[in-house]
Structure 1
Amino acid sequence: MPQDLLKTINGPHDLKALSVDQLPQLADELRECICDQISRTGGHFASNLCVVELTIALHYVFDFAQDRLLFDVGHQCYPHKLLTGRQKLFPELKTKGGMAGFPEPRESEFDLFSVGHAGTAIPTAVGMAIGDTAIGEGHRRCVSIIGDASIINGVSMEGMNYAGTLNRQFLTILNDNGMAIGDPQGAVAQYFDRIRVSHTFDDLKKRGKEILEMIPGGSYLEDFYHRSGEVIKAAISTGHVFEHFGHVCVGPLDGHDLPTLVDLFNEVKDIEKPILLHVKTVKGKGYVPAEGDPFRFHAPKAGVVVNGNGEKKVEEALSKGELEKSDCSVVKKPACGGKSFTAAFADGMKGLMAKDEKVYAITAAMPDGTGLDKVAEAYPDRTIDCGLAESLGMDMAAGMAKSGLKPFYAVYSTFSQRALDQTFQEVALQGLPVRVCMDRAGYVGGDGAMMHGFMDIAMNAVFPDVVMMAPSDESNFNAGLEFMRGYEKSATFIRYPRDVVAAEELQADVPKYELGKANLIKKAKGKKPDVAVLAYGVMVYTAAEAIRELEGQGYDVALYDARFAKPVDMGLVTELIEGGIPVVTVEDHGIVGGFGTMVLEGCNEAGLRTDKLKRIAHPEKWMYQDSRGGQLKDAGLDATGVASTIRKFLDKLSHDVNVDVKTKSSQQVAK
């Protein structure tokens, strides 16, 4: 029985004690560990299997207790975490108290930034390289790992541009697996396709020093060549696009060849020039179904990965005829809680596109996550994936709207932040009717703090004339999308959560959306309710459940689906407040700048009293990985928490009234 190497690794110091010959076994054990865990909890899968050898080789050669290692996006960090003392956290992956699914400095000194967005690794590495050099710690090496999809992101290119001016060690590893979350898009992706075919490591080994003769003005490389080791000499690439960014380009190399990677890292680690190492890897490496369908196995749910417990390898089972390849691809789907808002959006978009040929859909490398993969199947010519570049997507939408089309830009709320400047100048300032559909609004669960959509209202409400909406259920979603289709006066935004739509809706007949008008869901039993609740988006259903609890305690409550955060239904708000009715707003957004703030500001502008207005929203604190339900509960945004807050608010109002009455009575007696 071979030694279980992974269990002996409590940190990189233990890894360095192994021989190079033992590293392939460690790679196998890492893959088995990841397969086993993802089969239990779900998580990012194919991307982590892809970088196993690369991660081992990096930690074997570099010392990232002092050197700098930065991951782009960071969803490929599981092997890194398992090699840096966090194996005990792995069984509780993406749960409260367990391992975060992305780099997380709270967990370890080996994680430098909490990240989850694309394009950040190279520019932050440039900043650290400049900072370390400035304070006399230029001996700290900088390494950033970025994928072929993220490299086209604007800030990645900006980082590469500046990195080429650095006169010090700076290593960028381009992990080229030919995949984003979906198929890679654009001319750079096509370029990588060509270079994979036309250049292999074996070909480069044969050419050796002769390639220097092909470099116009490449004399500086000749000196570099003479001072380099044999692996670099064999792998220097000419004509690579990033050679023109001031980088010595090496590769493409086999990113799963551990001995070669170790040799190369030993040779490049102290070279005082910016180097781009281009490695070719296989997404899903070592798990046959994921290799064949990395798109499907990007982030499978629990139960999707089969044969993941390490008892027998999929490859061995296939070779022995014990397992058919078709069996490997069978997905054991976990019990489903219902139709997701994402699926409802996809169905709604197909309905719009069926009736209006001017409707187009755009996504930034997230066709599956936004539901547009299903839309593309029905309308491939009107569904556009612009690649991992959210700013580009917003500008494309602006151009399409200017040309008379009706673009719907599907983007996660947290990623829409990356297109703020384009939303400002190219969309809002121009008054263009771009339709922005923000998935994953509010708390998102296991992906944690950097993925929560907690600021989309605050961020976009500053723009004059824009319209902001949130649907409470699928019928309201369809009504909202239809409103957006027909609205041409300005940009429109609609936000919806990473959650399921209600199986039983609160209203049988949902009225059409009218600009800035709320919808009464539940009347008070008496002429004047004890409190009116204005809930925004899916929180209408949470509020309805909270109201059932309050009614059981004797309170009479009216419930409104606010529908719009901008413009707020100030006619309704004015009527309630002037009628002396307390108002509570409920939303799945940050307390600062959210729907409740829009109501508060509207009251201030109208000269209305706000002492009977209460806002319930995300508290001002970071919420880390947990289930979405757990996060809502911790924030006091589950039904019990909402009911408790409303009850305390009403009790305080009642107490204040009694105190005021007693004070006035005492004053009258004194007179």
Structure 2
Amino acid sequence: MPDPAPLLTPDLAPADLRRMTVPQMETLAEEIRQAIIAQVMASGGHLAPNLGVVELTMALHRVFDFRHDRLLFDVGHQCYVHKLLTGRLGMLPKLRQKGGMAGFPEPGESPWDLFAVGHAGTGISTAVGMAVGDDFEAGVRGRDGAETAEPHGRKVAVLVGDASIVNGVSLEGLNAAGTLKRQFLTVLNDNGMSIAHPQGALANYFDHVRVSRRYRGIKRRAKGFIDRLPGGEPAPGKPGLIEDLYQRGSDVMKALVRRGHMFEHFGHLCLGPVDGHDLSWLIEVLEEVRLINRPVLLHVKTTKGKGFREAEGDATRFHSPAAFRLVAVEGGSDIPRPATPSQVAMNACRVEHAKKGRSFTAAFADALADRMAADPSIVAVTAAMPDGTGLAEVARRHPQRVIDTGICESHAADLCAGMAKSGVRPFFAVYSTFSQRAFDQFFQEVSLQGLAVRVCMDRAGYVGGDGAVHHGFLDVSLFRGLPGAVLLAASDEPNLVAALRFMADRDESATFLRYPRDTVAEQPAQASVPPFVLGRANLVSPARGGHAGRPEIAVLAYGTVVQQCRSALAVLREHGHEPALYDARFAKPVDVDLLRELLGSGVPVLTVEDHALAGGFGAAVLEAAHAEGLDTRLVKRLAMPEAWAGPDSRDAQLGDAGLDPASIAEAARGMLAKRTHESVQS
């Protein structure tokens, strides 16, 4: 008998779910899980978060009509299932690659995606905004803002997961949502995890709230009783008896299970928790909840990594793994062999990750752990990213001196400020794109107080497959304006080690270090480098000849683009030019003495950085040159263009931005040609 046709097809649409039986939907759920697992094994991506929301996402799409209703995501990395249900299976083979499926909601990819979402805490507030906006558009309110009719039209649902409910913006959004007098559904996907293990009092609270079968039984018996009563079904435009009982008697029903849910105090009707993998029960609950014209928080318990043994056992490791494969472990062979389906089913296999070389994150972890061993006053802090920032490794060596605050960068920055005020030397490890979320704290509680908080920003510049939501291109322009702040960049591992030593010893002000999501050079050009000296660049490749001992052109590179510039210099020398390359090291303060030496002698200067042009390192060089009365016409800047870059490899993104060796060499040759032409003309 031939195998049945797959239910997961390239043209699958949510309307198809409404024609399926629950057993068919369960079959589709398994097909979706297998498709996601197979693709992430091939390309990497967010695995565990998506495996955990398969049934929940399917139930939402079956009950609501999101062609008309609103579906918003918090921590958008749990959107793969949503994308496969909305006709994007054909884009899955190029997951997080150019022209393929983005790893986060992306409105440019599909009208089913309302916001490009990559930061935690945003979903509830944007959902409140859409609810209010839809009501205004529907004429629900008069010009004076007073309510003139019962809310109607579009329903709103927001899916919140991976402990982002503890983010301060989420709580602000819940506070606002509680004032709505219309339907509004917040689905709290409680998987017992953040990106890593959740932290804080809220996490402890959720950990003690269990799915109640008694609650489910009470609900079903109550519904059956109400359906047998006259008035049990709502009349058009009016609340029915079941809704009235929800509103009047919800406290009584919940009291039969446990004390009231904490989010009731935010003005929400709180239901659950319910089993997030029981499709029939999810559908039944959502069909009832959809009719309630008031803010509702539905607490759903799920298993992160559901359906994949390795991810269920280690959800942190499989949150966003690189490509991997399953290899057989039976038979005693030393030669890895791909596991067969039967071996996978019998757990006779193991995971083997693709080897990519040593990362800057690993280099940072080792260097910081060594600093902590030498200096007992150092404490490391992360905001829910112990693995992504390398602090999980640091914690293995210094378990009492690593603090994970959960997904709340603003609190983490203030925590560091408080520790610094107390005499501790805090290092805050954070992604560049997430450091933006704590700008006000870096302004008020850190810089204004003159406190030495050390901010280490991973994922600076282009980040590859995560795309626009995670590119770190604003840290220099944001933090350079803070009085007293010192901004550094590491070009390779030895310079990263030297930068951390400089930061550890500096107690006068805040310091900000950037480095990319990339591998470090296996054999750095300089195994040992000179110590960092405030505001001093490092000459890494002098001119081999030149005129009167001067280079024809000087390249000042900030960060790891030093490596691209090194290759560009080889091209320039092949064409008979005599360039010099400097590792700028500092964007604030810049090396003014070097600028005087170069620009004062008429040497053109090319600045290169993987940061935005506006307000970046090149802008700092121009400002310093202008302040010194130097000829700024001799300065040309290469940086990230003012455009959103989609998913691709980091090397491809640098190439598209004109920051690859060939483009850098071409820019330098253009400057030299212009210089020659001007000399001839004069």
TM over 0.5: yes
Q: CA deviation at 1:6?
A: 1.0
1:549 aligned residue = 571
1:611 aligned residue = 633
Contact preservation (8 Å) 1:409, 1:437 = yes
Match of 1:261 among 278, 282, 285: 282
Are 1:537 and 2:559 matched, yes or no?
yes
Are 1:248 and 2:250 matched, yes or no?
no
Residues in 1 aligned to 2:383 and 2:490: alpha-carbon distance in whole angstroms: 23
Q: CA deviation at 1:207?
A: 7.7
Residues in 2 aligned to 1:284 and 1:229: alpha-carbon distance in whole angstroms: 38
Q: CA deviation at 1:252?
A: 0.2
2:336 aligned residue = none
Alignment of 1:495-514 (within 5 A): 495-514=514-533
Change (3 A) 1:340 1:551: same
Q: What whole-Å deviation, never above 9, does each CA across 1:585-625 have from its counterpart, x for those lacking one?
A: 11111111110000001111112111110111101111110
Alignment of 1:39-438 (within 5 A): 39-136=41-138, 138-147=152-161, 149-196=163-210, 199-206=211-218, 224-226=243-245, 239-304=260-325, 317=342, 324-325=346-347, 327-328=348-349, 330-336=350-356, 338-438=357-457
SS in 1 for 2:487: strand
Q: What whole-Å deviation, never above 9, does each CA across 1:140-185 have from its counterpart, x for those lacking one?
A: 1110011251000000000001100000000000000001111000
1:597 aligned residue = 619
SS in 1 for 2:384: coil
The answer for unaligned runs of 5 or more in structure 1 is 211-219, 308-313, 662-671
Q: What whole-Å deviation, never above 9, does each CA across 1:198-222 have from its counterpart, x for those lacking one?
A: x513345248899xxxxxxxxx999
Change (3 A) 1:28 1:223: closer
Residues in 1 aligned to 2:65 and 2:116: alpha-carbon distance in whole angstroms: 20
Residues in 1 aligned to 2:636 and 2:438: alpha-carbon distance in whole angstroms: 32
Change (3 A) 1:608 1:209: farther
Change (3 A) 1:508 1:302: closer
2:288 is aligned with what amino acid?
E
Contact preservation (8 Å) 2:360, 2:517 = yes
Give the stretch that moved more between structures: 185-194 or 292-301: 292-301
1:361 is aligned with what amino acid?
A
Change (3 A) 1:59 1:440: same
SS in 2 for 1:37: helix
Contact preservation (8 Å) 2:75, 2:162 = no
Residues in 2 aligned to 1:485 and 1:48: alpha-carbon distance in whole angstroms: 39
Q: CA deviation at 1:250?
A: 0.6
Q: What whole-Å deviation, never above 9, does each CA across 1:623-656 have from its counterpart, x for those lacking one?
A: 1100001100101111111111111222223223
Q: CA deviation at 1:568?
A: 0.3
TM-score w.r.t. structure 1 length?
0.91
2:333 aligned residue = none
SS in 2 for 1:7: coil
1:303 is aligned with what amino acid?
F
The answer for unaligned runs of 5 or more in structure 2 is 140-151, 223-238, 329-338
Give the stretch that moved more between structures: 502-511 or 571-580: 502-511
Contact preservation (8 Å) 2:431, 2:459 = yes
Contact preservation (8 Å) 1:205, 1:235 = no
Identity of aligned residues (%): 54
Residues in 2 aligned to 1:535 and 1:221: alpha-carbon distance in whole angstroms: 68
Contact preservation (8 Å) 2:10, 2:88 = no
Change (3 A) 1:209 1:18: closer
Residues in 2 aligned to 1:474 and 1:316: alpha-carbon distance in whole angstroms: 42
Change (3 A) 1:83 1:235: farther
Give the stretch that moved more between structures: 274-283 or 233-242: 233-242
Contact preservation (8 Å) 2:10, 2:89 = no
Q: CA deviation at 1:225?
A: 4.9
Residues in 2 aligned to 1:520 and 1:356: alpha-carbon distance in whole angstroms: 30
Q: CA deviation at 1:229?
A: 13
Contact preservation (8 Å) 1:283, 1:290 = yes
TM-score w.r.t. structure 2 length?
0.90
1:214 aligned residue = none
* Paired positions, count: 638
Residues in 2 aligned to 1:323 and 1:204: alpha-carbon distance in whole angstroms: 32
Q: CA deviation at 1:234?
A: 6.9
2:307 is aligned with what amino acid?
G
Residues in 2 aligned to 1:223 and 1:299: alpha-carbon distance in whole angstroms: 42
Give the stretch that moved more between structures: 131-140 or 84-93: 131-140
Q: What whole-Å deviation, never above 9, does each CA across 1:78-136 have from its counterpart, x for those lacking one?
A: 11000101111000000011110000000111100011000000000001111111111
Residues in 1 aligned to 2:166 and 2:327: alpha-carbon distance in whole angstroms: 34
Residues in 2 aligned to 1:305 and 1:79: alpha-carbon distance in whole angstroms: 23
Residues in 2 aligned to 1:148 and 1:291: alpha-carbon distance in whole angstroms: 14
Residues in 2 aligned to 1:71 and 1:315: alpha-carbon distance in whole angstroms: 36
1:665 aligned residue = none
1:86 is aligned with what amino acid?
R
Contact preservation (8 Å) 2:163, 2:194 = yes
Contact preservation (8 Å) 2:69, 2:156 = yes
User: For the aligned residues, what is the CA RMSD?
Assistant: 2.4
Q: CA deviation at 1:440?
A: 0.3
1:641 aligned residue = 663
1:174 is aligned with what amino acid?
L
Contact preservation (8 Å) 2:553, 2:580 = yes
SS in 2 for 1:430: coil
1:217 aligned residue = none
Change (3 A) 1:305 1:361: farther
Match of 2:507 among 479, 488, 513: 488
Change (3 A) 1:223 1:86: closer
Contact preservation (8 Å) 2:73, 2:159 = yes
Q: CA deviation at 1:2?
A: 2.8
Q: What whole-Å deviation, never above 9, does each CA across 1:467-523 have from its counterpart, x for those lacking one?
A: 000011111111110000010110001000001111222224311111001111111
2:524 is aligned with what amino acid?
E
Contact preservation (8 Å) 1:231, 1:264 = no
Residues in 1 aligned to 2:248 and 2:513: alpha-carbon distance in whole angstroms: 56
Residues in 2 aligned to 1:583 and 1:149: alpha-carbon distance in whole angstroms: 48
Residues in 1 aligned to 2:213 and 2:272: alpha-carbon distance in whole angstroms: 7
Residues in 1 aligned to 2:30 and 2:604: alpha-carbon distance in whole angstroms: 62
Match of 1:27 among 11, 26, 29: 29
Q: CA deviation at 1:302?
A: 1.2
Contact preservation (8 Å) 1:164, 1:245 = yes
